[in-house]
């Protein structure tokens, strides 16, 4: 915060303070406060003004984040970061393979990340996962000849959390021994730049591939997705997301209900109960959207 104390701004003005409005490295702007000639801004007043600037920044970031999550137009940023401490990077390094995220599903013990794997067998990846402390469990959801699908239970997802915190949405994530390549979309370029700054301070150099405009899509599509997510339970969303990623709805099917049920550790009938409920709610949401 900058404070001018020479009183030359205008008659009757004592001091002028320019207070930055910030959130986690993103500067949204400044607001100015001035006093009369008989008053000065002491240490306590300056601390309060700085706190107000940070509070406003939190609010503006929340508005930007909500707008980014409900609007599909804006820009796209792609970058690569080494991040050797991330469990999936350690796993890809140990298994000498590459992973590509296919989805994230909620769970009682934390999120489960669905990834397709390249240049590795299911047995090799499970063996490598056993040696990575940050991977709680690894199960093969669809054991197919090309790009088998795995579900990794992780304690947390710091990189994905950082993307969301800065008002961005993850569009693609690929992992290999050299690090993580991320494509994210948002509305505020400042949010992407502050994300890069945070990742650099946490993991080291970030190779930004560049920014480009992201094509706009109908807002009603996002509204539809939000509606579906609100209708589904966690287990229903998990069943539907996993079935799509595993190729269950392809023809010919790339996996069957028995394999998916086994990967969940439930009976086939239980898995299909969750899946049918999810499909029923999905179709109901579709019908409601058409009727609007």
What are the tens digits of pLDDT across the range 17-45?
888 888 766 777 888 888 876 677 788 88
Whether 99 and 188 share a structural domain: yes
Q: Which residues in 144-179 are b (16+ Cβ under 10 Å) and which e?
A: beeebbbbbbbeebebbebbbbbbbbbeebbbbeeb
Whether 94 and 181 share a structural domain: yes
Classify residue 118: in a domain, yes or no: yes
Last residue of a domain, one of 13, 41, 70: 70
Whether 131 and 168 share a structural domain: yes
Last residue of a domain, one of 214, 241, 270: 214
Whether 119 and 188 share a structural domain: yes
Neighbours of 235 (CB within 10 A): 21
Classify residue 75: in a domain, yes or no: no
Domain count, the chain: 3
pTM of the model: 0.60
Whole-number Å distance between alpha carbons of 230 and 84:
35
* pLDDT at 97 > cutoff 70: yes
DSSP 11: T
Domain that holds residue 60: 2-70
Whether 239 and 281 share a structural domain: yes
The residue-averaged pLDDT of 59-88 equals 75
Whether 41 and 125 share a structural domain: no
> In 183-267, which residue ranges form alpha helices assigned H by DSSP?
189-203, 219-231, 234-245, 257-264
Last residue of a domain, one of 214, 247, 275: 214
How many C-alpha atoms does 218 have within 13 Å on its Cβ side? 6
The confidence score (pLDDT) of residue 292 equals 54
Q: Which residues in 68-84 are b (16+ Cβ under 10 Å) and which e?
A: bbebbebbbbbbbbbbe
Whole-number Å distance between alpha carbons of 6 and 51:
24
130: cis peptide before it, omega within 30°?
A: no
Whether 59 and 106 share a structural domain: no
Neighbours of 207 (CB within 10 A): 12
Classify residue 76: in a domain, yes or no: no
Whether 209 and 158 share a structural domain: yes
* pLDDT at 210 > cutoff 90: no
């Amino acid at each position: 915060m900058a404070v001018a104390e020479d009183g030359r701004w205008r008659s009757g003005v004592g001091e002028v303070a320019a207070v930055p409005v910030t959130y986690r490295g993103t500067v949204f702007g400044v607001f100015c406060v001035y006093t009369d000639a008989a008053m000065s801004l002491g240490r306590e007043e300056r601390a309060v003004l700085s706190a107000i600037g940070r509070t406003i920044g939190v609010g503006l970031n929340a508005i930007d984040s909500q707008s980014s999550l409900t609007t599909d137009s804006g820009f796209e940023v792609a970058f690569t970061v080494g991040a050797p401490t991330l469990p999936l990077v350690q796993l890809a390094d140990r298994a000498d393979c590459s992973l590509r995220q296919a989805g994230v599903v909620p769970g009682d013990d934390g999120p489960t990340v669905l990834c397709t794997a390249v240049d590795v067998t299911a047995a090799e990846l499970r063996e490598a996962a056993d040696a990575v402390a940050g991977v709680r469990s690894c199960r093969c959801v669809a054991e197919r000849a090309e790009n088998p699908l795995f579900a990794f239970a992780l304690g947390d997802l710091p990189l994905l959390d950082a993307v969301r915190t800065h008002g961005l949405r993850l569009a693609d994530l690929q992992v290999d021994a050299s690090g993580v390549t991320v494509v994210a979309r948002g509305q505020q370029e400042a949010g992407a730049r502050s994300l890069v700054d945070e990742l650099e301070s946490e993991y080291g150099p970030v190779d930004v591939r560049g920014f480009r405009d992201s094509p706009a899509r109908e807002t009603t599509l996002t509204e539809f997705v939000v509606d579906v997510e609100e209708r589904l339970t966690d287990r229903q969303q998990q069943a539907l997301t996993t079935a799509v990623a595993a190729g269950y709805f392809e023809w010919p099917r790339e996996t069957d209900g028995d394999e998916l049920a086994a990967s969940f550790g439930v009976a086939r009938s239980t898995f299909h109960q969750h899946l049918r409920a999810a499909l029923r709610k999905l179709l109901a949401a579709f019908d409601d959207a058409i009727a609007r």
